[in-house]
Structure 1
Amino acid sequence: MSSGVDSAVSAALYAHKYKNVHGIYMANWSQTATCTERDWNDVQQLCHDLKISCERVNFERDYWQTVFQPMIDKYARGLTPNPDTGCNKHVKFGKLANYLESKYHSKRWWLVTGHYARIMKHNPSGETHLLRGHSSKKDQSYYLSSIPPSIMPKVLLPIGHYIKPEIRELGKQFGLHVASKPDSQGLCFVSPDQNNFRDFLNNYLEPNPGDIVSQDGKVWGHHQGLWHATIGQRSTVSMPQGDPNFKGTWYVSAKDPVKNQLIIVRGWDHPSLFKDQANLYELDWLYPQEKVLAIPPQELQFQFHSLGKRYNIKSIDLTNDKLSVNIHPKARAMAPGQIGVIYRGNQVLASGIIM
């Protein structure tokens, strides 16, 4: 339970049907952080109102070692990591699942969460599949694309069958005090007095100045670290607008970690911003690898943003634990470090980190 309406309604749906429901709150950041204590107080109130017990567990060290520090290291190398998928893989459906198994190993147990996705049994095959949530605006299957497939039969995702307004209405019907609580935005431990996430990263990364260059190698400005820019975003460099060769809006098209350079190009639709191939490593197969590779490519789709565009797959090839995915049409601003996910319709099949 995170203290939000989604996990609260998930708990209420089962608490009103079963007697042995137990709330659990993960404190994955500083145990004295304002957001940690505020959310824990809300969880305790929710559990009191639902007449269920609640427990607070501390996975701070696990979060730091398997999610946060790897995220910092990747930003330092110019990558664009996704800590949400890492947290789900290593902590929520990793460490927490292991904790529950050790605690209830002699009993039957299930983990209920408030994610907008669905885990359902495919009756013809008996397989357990991870599917997109019913709500296209809130679907979170992308963030669950790296969880261990072995945990799926023990996971229940009730709100994946609803849309957000219905969940808020259910929250009101259950009398939950968080029914109208705003959705969380970003990471709770990023102080609200910091202007953006890069300000937060500056607390953990030493400045690493480098050049901002055009494709011909000409230096136009300087940056304080590759993490200060995102591929596809507008460049902060002021180009000579009086010169027709440079007039217009310039965008970051690539990062060169070897030379510590940001490469910029002119125009939102510059060809170098578009790619028709993604190479994935550190693969996670939620559906058996041999079955994924046997599916005709035209039945598959590729996605590299949560709620982002779905791209048709022309071909896939697995070589030396690297998955090469050719897509159509070309995708703009696909960045190394992002998570690429393979779908078949609504079903999540596999994911990996974009090289």
Structure 2
Amino acid sequence: MSVNSLGFDRAPENTRVVVAMSGGVDSSVTAALLKDQGYDVVGITLQLYDHGVAVQKKGACCAGQDIHDARRVAEAIGIPHYVLDYESRFKDQVMEEFADSYIRGETPIPCVRCNQTVKFKDLLATARDLGADCMATGHYVQRTLGGSGKAQLTRAVDLGRDQSYFLFTTTQEQLDFLRFPLGGMEKPEVRALAETYGLTVADKPDSQDICFVPEGRYVDVIERLRPGALEAGEIVDLDGNVLGHHEGIIRYTIGQRRGLGIGGVTDPLYVVKLDPANKRVIVGPKEALDTRAIAVKDVNWLGEPVGADGIEVLARVRSTRPPVPATLRLGDNGDAMLELHDPEAGVSPGQAAVFYDGDRVLGGGWIAKTVSADKRLAAI
């Protein structure tokens, strides 16, 4: 018997696949496509935070309306559908870390933490419990097989939609179990399929916000989770001169220009560093945002770990930017140092650094510290 489209040597109807359904067009098309191909499909949607609040929320995944949409799609295509209450584990594993990260002066990526914990750990375990042969998601990323037959993670065909940056924490064991049917498609093709299948979500807008941050007001979330976290302090320049005062460093992010709360300055100033220990926001000219090296912690490898001599890679240090040339070296403790061939602006601790060999993801980790190209900032 020939291997089916999901890589199993059995008929599709004898292959059970759990689809993580967020209620959006991508995961809905994933479920409909696999059902159309004859697979034994089970849909699962996660309730991740307060349903009463979620019903009123637009532009975010896993909200009340999205759960309703996922259920309607499952009914329309004729598959069983379950809603799992993961609210407490989502709060513990994603929201709490989000708040703590901002307090540490970082800029976190909760969507990566969600994939790392709730989705690709807890949900994946549930899929196995349901007897699934694999779990499929609507992510725009490709799973390919290398020469050794080992599963690899590679960028999507639609590079404008590629989500490999957000999946760098995926382990080899998880990747062996996961499937990404949309990785070889472009977004217009996916929406056209949604129309073909008659899905009610065909024209549904893509999610823009972090699901638990209403209208981007992350400070409100942090204040609720960490009362008293807003500690006032000074806004200083690169020479330590006090230019103003702030009401909490969590209100500021690296690269921010507007809303700094300082006056009487002729040249534009940007947030170039956050100093939580001294409750200081450090500002400087645009060129002070340039980063030449990055210390990376908690590295996850999908390729072979690099040796002490290092290797040349393409590194992605922001989700909205393309990969850039860099040299990657492994430290004694398993962490890594990334030396950028050309400085990148606005790199922030708490974000991710993902390493590529062409389109293949070699691994990635969390940005622990940045080394500025500006000697004055490097000395602070």
Q: Normalising by structure 2, what TM-score?
A: 0.85
1:59-101 CA distance string (max 9 Å, x none): 1122111111011111111111110110001111111111222
Query: Which residue of structure 2 aligns with residue 129 of structure 1?
Result: 152
Query: Which residue of structure 1 aligns with residue 218 of structure 2?
Result: 197
Distance 2:23 2:156 in 1: 21
1:20-61 CA distance string (max 9 Å, x none): 111111111124331532111111110111011101111112
Confirm or deny that 1:344 pairs with 2:357: yes
Query: Which residue of structure 1 aligns with residue 193 of structure 2?
Result: 170
- Letter of the 2:217 counterpart: N
1:134-173 CA distance string (max 9 Å, x none): 1111100000111222111111101111111111111101
Q: Normalising by structure 1, what TM-score?
A: 0.90
Distance 1:293 1:301 in 2: 17
Runs of 4+ deviating beyond 6 Å = none
Confirm or deny that 1:249 pairs with 2:268: yes
Query: Which residue of structure 1 aligns with residue 117 of structure 2?
Result: 90
Query: Which residue of structure 1 aligns with residue 284 of structure 2?
Result: 265
Distance 2:241 2:310 in 1: 45
Q: Trace 1:95-174 onto structure 2 (pairs within 5 A).
A: 95-104=122-131, 108-122=132-146, 124-174=147-197
Alpha-carbon RMSD across the aligned residues, in angstroms, is 1.8
Query: Which residue of structure 1 aligns with residue 25 of structure 2?
Result: 5
- Letter of the 1:55 counterpart: Y
Distance 1:41 1:129 in 2: 34
Moved more, 302-311 or 247-256: 302-311
Q: Deviation of residue 341 (structure 1)?
A: 0.7
CA contact (8 A) 1:116 1:138 kept: yes
Distance 2:310 2:247 in 1: 46
Query: Which residue of structure 1 aligns with residue 95 of structure 2?
Result: 68
Query: Which residue of structure 1 aligns with residue 345 of structure 2?
Result: 332
Distance 2:365 2:202 in 1: 35
CA contact (8 A) 2:309 2:329 kept: no
Query: Which residue of structure 1 aligns with residue 319 of structure 2?
Result: 306
Query: Which residue of structure 2 aligns with residue 244 of structure 1?
Result: none
**Gap change, CA 1:259 and 1:130, over 3 Å in 2:** same
Query: Which residue of structure 1 aligns with residue 302 of structure 2?
Result: 286
Confirm or deny that 1:277 pairs with 2:293: yes
Query: Which residue of structure 1 aligns with residue 311 of structure 2?
Result: 297
Aligned sequence identity (%): 30
Which runs of 5 or more structure 1 residues have no equivalent in the other structure? Answer: 242-246
Aligned length: 338
CA contact (8 A) 1:284 1:351 kept: yes
Distance 1:283 1:7 in 2: 28
**Gap change, CA 1:280 and 1:168, over 3 Å in 2:** same
- Letter of the 1:252 counterpart: V
Distance 1:42 1:302 in 2: 37
- Letter of the 2:224 counterpart: N
